[in-house]
Amino acid sequence: MTPPVVGKGATSPAVEPPPAVRRGSPRTAMIVGCGRLGARLASSLGAAGSGVIAVDRSEAALRRLGADFGGFAVHGDATQPSVLRRAGIERCDAVLAVTENDNVNLMVAQVARVVFRTPRVLVRVFDPAREEIFEEFGIEAISPTLLAEREFLREVLQGPVARPVEP
Amino acid sequence: MKALLVGTGPTLYFLARDFLEQGDDCTLVTPSEEEAVSLAANLSATVLHGDGTDPLLLERAGARRADVVVAILPADHDNLATCQVAQRRFGVARTVSLVNDPDHLQVFRRLGVTATVSSTQVLADLLRGQAGLRDLACFAPVEDGRAAILNLTLQEGFAAVGRVLDEFPLPEGASVACILRGAEVIIPRGRERMRAGDQLLVLAVRERIEEAVRTLRSGS
């Protein structure tokens, strides 16, 4: 499945290799927001061989990482540049901003790009209307809303022809 | 001028009142319904209730025609979002953001916000320097807190009491801009003698605030 990607510099490769063998997998990735998505990403990227730094302002959220998580868990507010620096953002080659709050994600992503010059920054944005905010900074946005919309439409428009339910 | 103010609390109210008194056209957006009702009752301004970082709501609030957008929400990331949506989507020429984290003063400007305002920077510097706030009635940061105007009341026994202003060794980068003495407002030319009970409005660059206050109090 190719996620719909919006924003400048975003490309959708025709064939997506499985994460574990993908050559471009980051050496060190920072994941901001350790909710369901963040925790899964942390675990998958760790399994793919990346060093992972997970940041969340809630200690309870960091416990989602589980016992087999081999990276760093940092408790702090990632909207503060000083917290990002202490967490080690300067040695990360990718930052994934996936908190539940669009504005937090967009701000962390921009700070990562503009202040810390992180090479690759991906951000989750629920509201597709906010994309103008960041497109000039070379941030790649993934919208769960657009993603779901595309899947639903694909199923509805190209899926099996509907049949009446048998009595 | 058309101003769009996004925020909460007394700052929003007084800022709006100030704009209206200057004869500006003013629209307010606040996240709390209760606050919106109260603002609408007390100000002759259009008040909308909702998420002031939402492009759709900002459009309804007239962001396209606004000359200035001011964001004074509690969270820095929301203020940044409001300013960036206003600037990038609606082409607002001037955006002003309140900032809590002093690190954001410069960062937000690099991200396109016209002006950033921090009330914490000068206060933090003063507290760190232990200059003490006892005689300081108020101060106002200037240029992101790179300088400040502070209001110091001279107490009996202060080093400055009885001294002529231009003979008093204030540090470089600090000066007495005004003396408030009872009902009198004196713009000093240098020959004025300072008295106990005078309120001095001192203008100082950030690095000299503490030294200026200390010198006026206890000499060098």
Residue B82 has pLDDT above 90, yes or no: yes
Q: Hey, are the CB atoms on A103 and B75 less than 8 Å from each other?
A: yes
Contacts of B84 in chain A (CB under 8 A): 106, 133
pLDDT at A136: 67
CA distance B171 to A40: 58
CA distance A141 to A126: 10
Nearest of B81, B60, B87, B83 to residue B70 by alpha carbon:
B83
Cα four-point dihedral sign A141, A145, A151, A157: negative
CA distance B180 to B191: 15
B150 Cβ contact list (under 8 Å, min separation 6): B136, B138, B139, B140, B201, B202, B204, B209, B213
Rounded average pLDDT over A29-36: 97
Supply A111's token pair. 């700070």
pLDDT-based confidence at residue A5 (cuts at 50, 70, 90): very low
Question: Which residue's entry shows tokens 């209206």?
Answer: B20
Q: What is the mean pLDDT of chain B?
A: 88
CA distance A103 to B153: 43
Q: Hey, are the CB atoms on B53 and A101 less than 8 Å from each other?
A: no
pLDDT at A21: 41
Residue B27 has pLDDT above 60, yes or no: yes
CA distance A8 to A5: 9
pLDDT-based confidence at residue A160 (cuts at 50, 70, 90): confident
pLDDT at B125: 60
A165 Cβ contact list (under 8 Å, min separation 6): none
Best of A100, A101, A103 to disrupt the B interface by mutation (most B CBs within 10 Å)? A103
pLDDT-based confidence at residue B211 (cuts at 50, 70, 90): confident
pLDDT at A8: 39
CA distance A28 to A116: 14
Asked which of A23-37, A135-149, B61-75, B156-170 is least confident by mean pLDDT, the reply is A135-149
pLDDT at B118: 81
CA distance A46 to B7: 41
CA distance B147 to B140: 9
Closest alpha carbon within chain A to B110: A114
pLDDT tens digits, A58-75: 999 999 998 889 999 999
Asked which of A13-17, A108-112, A146-150 is least confident by mean pLDDT, the reply is A13-17
Asked which of A146-155, B34-43, B49-58, B123-132 is least confident by mean pLDDT, the reply is B123-132
pLDDT tens digits, A110-147: 999 999 999 999 999 998 888 766 676 778 999 998 89
Q: Hey, are the CB atoms on A129 and B56 less than 8 Å from each other?
A: yes
- Interchain CB contact of B53 with A (< 8 Å): yes
Asked which of A102-116, A124-138, B15-29, B183-197 is least confident by mean pLDDT, the reply is A124-138
Closest alpha carbon within chain A to B56: A129
Kindly report the pTM of this predicted structure. Answer: 0.73
pLDDT at A17: 46
- Interchain CB contact of A115 with B (< 8 Å): yes
Q: Hey, are the CB atoms on B85 and A133 less than 8 Å from each other?
A: yes
Q: Give A97 to chain B, closest Cα distance, Å.
A: 13
pLDDT-based confidence at residue A9 (cuts at 50, 70, 90): very low
Q: How many CB pairs under 8 A join A and B?
A: 53
Contacts of B77 in chain A (CB under 8 A): 79, 101, 103-104, 106-107
**What are the C-alpha distances in Å from A44 to residues A24, A71, B16, B41, B130?**
14, 11, 50, 54, 50
Question: Which residue's entry shows tokens 């009446």?
Answer: A164
